[in-house]
A and B are shown apart, each in its own frame.
Chain A
Amino acid sequence: MKRRAGIDVSGLPQFAFGSRGLIWWGIWGFLAIETTMLLICLVSYFYLQDRATDWPPPPTQLPDLGIPTATLAVLLLSIVPMHLLERAAKRLDTRRTILWTFVCIALGIVFCVLRGFEFYSLNVLFDSNAYGSVVWTIIGVHSFHLVTEVLETCVIVSFLLSGHTEPKYFVDSTDNALYWYFIVAIWIPCYAVLYLAPRYL
């Protein structure tokens, strides 16, 4: 079979942000998986609620609102530096990217600590009843992602810090931002279900 040169691709860029790159699709795959998993947890919550006469089942008290709301606020706040980080990374601006990453990590540590206290606000233990089990699992699954995401952000910024400032690592930073947004966004329905639904539904 004879062949001839058809398209020369040597001039094409060697990286691309967003949906033009490969990693972005992988991240979306994981996001789909984790969203489905958390949604299934939430559906299980309502399923169990539907089976119960009183919710939360007595003598369990309603969860407190203070610390959880603070955590949510910090989470939402962290979107701002993350967005700035993303913009800096897309401009391949090493200095600003590192700077905003550190701000994000600092906020990340804050909400990880707050999250630790948030477990006390649930006013129930995981082995008290099915209600306790499901709320602990929802918050536990989310916290696992939260901690992983903060760690991952640390790892990615360490690439840049160790002098790997090729565009690829800026792409990593922006894809990581996508994950961060997900972590924040998915918590909004979780928060609503855990803290608001038993009060107002």
Chain B
Amino acid sequence: MKAEENTAQNVETTTGSHETTATTGAASAQAVLALSLMEDQEHAELERTWSDEPGLWNWLRSVDHKSIGKRYIVTAFIFFLLGGLLALIMRLQLSRPENTLLGPDQYNQIFTMHGTTMMFLFAIPVMEAMGIYLVPLMLGTRNIAFPRLAAFSYWIYLFGGITLYVFFFLNIGPDTGWFSYVPLAGPEFSPGKRVDIWSQLINFTEIAALAASIELIATTFKLRAPGMSVNRIPLFVWAMLVMSFMVIFAMPAVMTSSLFLTLDRLVGTHFFNQAEGGDPLLWQHLFWFFGHPEVYIIFIPALGFVSSIIQTFSRRPNFGYLALVLSMIATGFIGFGLWVHHMFATGLPQLGESFFTAATMMIAIPSGVQIFCWIATLWSGRPQFKTPLLFVLGFFFIFVLGGLSGVMQASVPVNLQVHDTFFVVAHFHYVLIGGAVFPLFGAFYYWFPKMTGRMLGERLGRWNFALLFVGFNLTFFPMHQLGLQGMPRRVYTYLPGTGWGKLNMLATAGGVVMTVGVALFILNALWSRRRGRVAGDNPWGADTLEWATSSPPPSYNFDYLPIVQGREALWARTDDAPVVTGLRTNCRDVLLTKTLDAEPDNTMSLPSPSIWPVGVAFSAAVTFIGSCFTPWALVWGAIPAFISLVGWGWPKPKDDKCDLTPVDEWSEEKRRKEARRAQ
């Protein structure tokens, strides 16, 4: 205990003295000169230390948050395209009554795959991926906390996604919906391995998401640049932080429920068997306890995108920083209290229904606060109509509409009529596509220059926006009416006498338009990546720290970590900006700061590239998939997993130049001496 106190004291004295230096303006012309003289040599060494060497093997070993983030984004986007294609096929099937493009078995697999892909393989991962790429840059640090965990997170997510699609093409695609209600998904009514594959996929993605959340939280708490106290954290990072906490408390519910389901199916437990004391509704409670926060897990990062984009393009700080932060946190909390509104039709006690009605309506309040603050920002700012802002305006239109139809459904009587109809399909596509995908596309346009160094084409961008916006409303607006006319969800066809044909045809046409819109985006991205206008460090004149480094950022992110002087870091920056010096360039050193006020506290050498995260992910994949077929897989998988984990954590060789200071240097005596000297 004493040792720790000593160290703490020591640190305080050191930083204290340095701050004095900084504030009293001891950074003279000489210091500036010295910095620029050192630069070339230091950059070269930093590059050597941080960059990945070429070759496939080193590509697999990479622990750079930017590489991982980009891979994550690209992979998630590919899954988005696959999920979108499945949706298009469904729309084609539904375009006419009694269409025979798909049979019921195919349709059921496809709609399940669509939902599962969009939720578990696209929406959560892409949001986490944006965080993995951007959070360390925005916080002004050199890598994410736990970089090997980040690599592991990506690999296990990739293996999970591939597994699901391989099995889908083998006709073992899950067919019980992305919600897998028991008993339909239980052992009696879903024979074969389809649902087992689904519940194992849940394991893959939840592990990936949980790992990413832990990284983001630790990064946000400990790796912020000096000066970025809690009240200066960018709204984007707040959003990621709230999302990460929600993941941590929501995902275990689906982890547990999918464990129960797996056990029921594979070893014959009775969690959901009502004849032996189980209860099918237990599944629904557990699933929606995850499933509803899940919606906000997807939506809250989008709030971060919107905040960043609005701030930059209305050329003023967001109106109501504190209100926005608090409303995000409030959304995070209330999001856990609504799950039962997915279960009103199960006939719960009236009192419970009332409670959840009230809670559901209450969540409209923080959303309202957010919308009003942003409108106020635009009102008093000078909006510049670049593509990212267009997508955000699209977000307003669509999300507000979807939010309002959500408020209607909070009411039990209305909910009982529209639940599980196309009205609900319309509603949640309005909130999820409007609330998350539109901001995400805006974010792609906004940060593409940072990630690639080139701008996305504006003209194509506007076409992309227009087609997506029109296509979206054409597809989903008629679904409100279909729902009101009584068309239930998850039907592979309908009878001609129902009169649903025309609106369905319209929706399908809209789906085609949307497809063209997305195709334009792909074209734009592919073309701009090579030929787009060169972006420069800060093409939008934005305020957050990721724009303080080159585009794309060097492997070490910042040659000197920035020191933050205001909430809008770059807008507040003075001409001779102070930076952090003294981090070793031959080591992967990062600076840890204090959680609240972000004063420098200690430094730490982050782990180097490693193949072991891939090994652990692979072993886990083998275990998960194998255990669907034989319990022995747990044994086969555990051994390589254990070996890989030990390899992952094993210390660097002793002769590593960068290795840690030996104990004797930190002996109590030496520390006391240093403390004396500092005084």
Contact = CB atoms under 8 A, between A and B. Distances in A.
The reply to whether A and B meet directly (CB within 8 Å) is yes
30 contacts: A1-B575, A5-B27, A5-B34, A5-B581, A6-B18, A8-B582, A10-B583, A12-B11, A13-B602, A13-B603, A25-B145, A25-B221, A29-B217, A36-B248, A44-B256, A44-B286, A48-B271, A51-B277, A92-B667, A126-B263, A130-B270, A131-B277, A133-B278, A136-B269, A155-B646, A155-B649, A159-B651, A166-B660, A166-B662, A167-B663
B151 interface: no
A52 B277 contact: yes
A41 B259 CA distance: 10
A17 B5 CA distance: 10
Contacts of B222: 22, 25
Nearest to B674: A11
A188 interface: no
B7 interface: yes
A33 B251 contact: yes
Q: Which 10 A-B pairs have the closest CB atoms?
A: A6-B578, A10-B582, A133-B269, A4-B27, A29-B214, A130-B277, A166-B660, A37-B252, A36-B252, A130-B278
A11 B381 CA distance: 44
A3 B595 CA distance: 26
Interface in A9-34: 9-22, 25-26, 29-30, 32-34
B35 A4 contact: yes
A70 interface: no
A146 B286 CA distance: 25
A44 B248 contact: no
Given A3-B560, A5-B35, A166-B662, A22 B592 contact: yes
Given A3-B577, A87-B1, A155-B646, A130 B276 contact: yes
Nearest to A56: B277
Contacts of A5: 27, 31-32, 34-35, 578-579, 581
B83 to A, nearest CB: 27
A167 B27 contact: no
A3 B35 contact: yes
A143 interface: no
A167 B670 CA distance: 14
A114 B602 CA distance: 43
A25 B563 CA distance: 23
B387 interface: no
Given A4-B578, A14-B605, A129-B276, 16 more contacts: A11-B14, A13-B603, A22-B223, A22-B604, A26-B218, A29-B217, A126-B267, A126-B268, A129-B270, A130-B278, A133-B260, A133-B264, A151-B642, A166-B660, A167-B666, A168-B660
A140 to B, nearest CB: 9
B146 A130 contact: no
Counting chain B CB atoms within 10 Å of each CB, the highest count among A12, A15, A91 belongs to: A12
B22 interface: yes
A164 interface: yes
Interface of B: 1, 3-4, 7-8, 10-11, 14-15, 18-19, 21-22, 27-28, 31-32, 34-35, 145-146, 149, 210, 213-215, 217-218, 221-223, 226, 248-249, 251-253, 255-256, 259-260, 263-264, 267-271, 273, 276-279, 282, 285-286, 289, 560, 563, 573, 575-584, 591-592, 594-595, 600-605, 642, 645-646, 649-651, 654, 659-663, 666-667
A36 B218 contact: no
A51 B269 CA distance: 17
B248 A32 contact: yes
Given A12-B600, A90-B3, A166-B660, A26 B14 contact: no
Nearest to A170: B663
Interface size class of A (residues with CB under 8 A): 35 or more
B583 to A, nearest CB: 6
A165 to B, nearest CB: 6
Given A6-B579, A10-B583, A36-B252, A15 B602 contact: yes
A94 interface: yes
A169 interface: yes
B18 A7 contact: yes
Contacts of A200: none
Contact of B279 (A7, A48, A127, A129): A48
A47 B659 CA distance: 52
B209 to A, nearest CB: 11
Contact of A166 (B35, B594, B663): B663
